Structure 1
């Protein structure tokens, strides 16, 4: 098993579609929310963190199994079917396509450092709430029915280390099938451009709702946006009364899509084009819509 301390949360194979050097596919433009001027970076040096997927066990040794599992999944980004999806008009109703894309998107959404931080925040919340009681309840009532609680491992949960919490988070990422199944049932569409204009980010799966709050993927007004390539953006929503699996040409400027993706970034956008050009397009679109 290959043991690497450099763990990429956005697959390098995925990012190569957005490379600034399409022949060699080794470099990409990176622009940060707080890091100054755009940089042309090697793809291997972006969206990376040491040992993100390799927690230490009780014996102090790191477990690299999950990184190996992700590497196997990421081979799909090199599959001819994925390559066609990024450049052609593939039948989006075809089950193999929906299964492959749904699982890749589900894992991509769950594997980011932002999701790990959210998981740790939830752990802190639970510990803060229940840690104030002298003893935990052994049962609870829900709609008139009593349910027993096993609190025998509370101390272990309460005192979880960073590596313990990482193992729990990785178990959730590794159980992404439940999320993939939800995505498979949504309505799919692709917005395409004849010229490469779309960016991606270090948090490429963007979920939006008119309320500006997360209302769940099954909410009728929820939309998921995922850039497949600089010419293709996948849209998933629950508007089942509208055509499913259609391709729609980009009618407006790309600034609207890229702004939405950029707002969802943890820190960086990635692009095949100079980010100064991308940002100018986003600003022009905001001014046109009266937001700037």
Structure 2
């Protein structure tokens, strides 16, 4: 068998080892409920058939062979989802101030954020916008100001940058993913709290790291009003925020059968939510608390289409 035939083809941006915690059954491979926020009915799908894209983390080398080294790096990191500390976090009342636990979770959350294809699409849009802005009769400036900082531009490499291929942009994306320690550190510096339920009520999605801000836009992780949701299991949701005047590392009981949190996860999904229980029940509970949450009808109906 050639080396090429051993290259990973199906790349899961939401790890199967993570999704197993939300499985609806114990078959092999396990199934999970999937519901689209665009169209279609709820489906009971094999976990290996969801949140997957061919060659997402694979590029072609100079020799014409596909290289899946990035996928293999993820496989090593994903072993955390099978570890005893992660299993304890899913069901027990773990000390959230434990630095080993915090570092593991922060790294997993940071990686799951940047490895999502939505992050790659954003990178491509930024690249295209940057190239378009400086391609024209005025030419390339010597420097630009980004986020208040002056960034020098190398004219010698501009052509290479401007004409970057899909694989070139992927390699830049891989560099970001492999150096996401800064993102993990931002998560570590936030206040942590866990919302816990005695019953399996919480869902996750094809974009598990949910950023929240009062004006409904992503304002950066370090924005004082930014908070983050990370579904750990059907009974645990990690919440991170900058409210350092509030108690840290606490557990709080879930309200409304987890419906309020599930709505936020639903709205943040690229397309699908994943659940251990039938999604119609999830959506009915969201609709049932509409008045309590004072959410406009159109926002509820947009989320419940197809339910």
Q: TM-score, length-normalised on structure 1?
A: 0.94
Offset, 1:141: 8.3
1:137 and 2:109 are equivalent in the alignment: no
SS in 2 for 1:254: helix
Q: Is the 8 A contact 2:256 2:289 kept in 1?
A: no
Asked if structure 1 preserves the Cα contact closer than 8 Å seen for 2:29 and 2:46, the reply is: no
Distance 1:10 1:146 in 2: 36
The residue that corresponds to 1:107 in the other structure is: 111
Question: Does the residue aligned with 1:114 lie in a helix, a strand or coil?
Answer: helix
Q: In 2 relative to 1, CA 174–133 (structure 1 residues): closer, same or farther, beyond 3 Å? A: farther
Identify unmatched segments of 5+ residues in structure 2: 298-307
CA distance in 1, matches of 2:231, 2:188: 17
C-alpha spacing 1:146/1:288, structure 2 compared with 1 (3 Å) = closer
Q: Per-residue CA shift, 1:48-86, capped at 9, x if unaligned?
A: 000000011233221110000000000000000000000
SS at match of 1:207: strand
Contact 1:201 1:262 in 2 (8 A): yes
Q: Could you tell me how far 1:140 is from its partner in structure 2?
A: 6.1
Q: CA deviation at 1:39?
A: 0.5
Rounded to whole Å, the distance in 1 between the matches of 2:143 and 2:262 is 49
Q: CA RMSD in A?
A: 1.9
1:220-259 matches, within 5 Å, as 220-259=224-263
* CA pair 167-287 structure 1, distance change in 2 beyond 3 A: same
CA distance in 2, matches of 1:149, 1:158: 12
| Partner of residue 75 from structure 1, selected from 72, 79, 97 | 79
Structure 2 CA distance for aligned equivalents of residues 262 and 147 of structure 1: 38
CA distance in 1, matches of 2:224, 2:258: 25
**Normalising by structure 2, what TM-score?**
0.90
Q: Report if the CA contact (8 A) 2:29-2:48 is conserved.
A: no
Q: Which runs of no fewer than 5 residues in structure 1 stay unpaired? A: none
- Give the C-alpha shift of residue 25 in structure 1: 6.5
- What is the Cα deviation at residue 138 of structure 1? 2.8
Aligned match for 1:150, one of 147, 154, 165: 154
- Cα distance in 1 for partners of 2:152, 2:130 equals 18
Q: Aligned partners of 1:227, 1:61: CA distance in 2, in Å?
A: 37
Q: Report whether the alignment pairs 1:203 with 2:207.
A: yes
Measure how far apart 1:244 and its partner are.
0.7
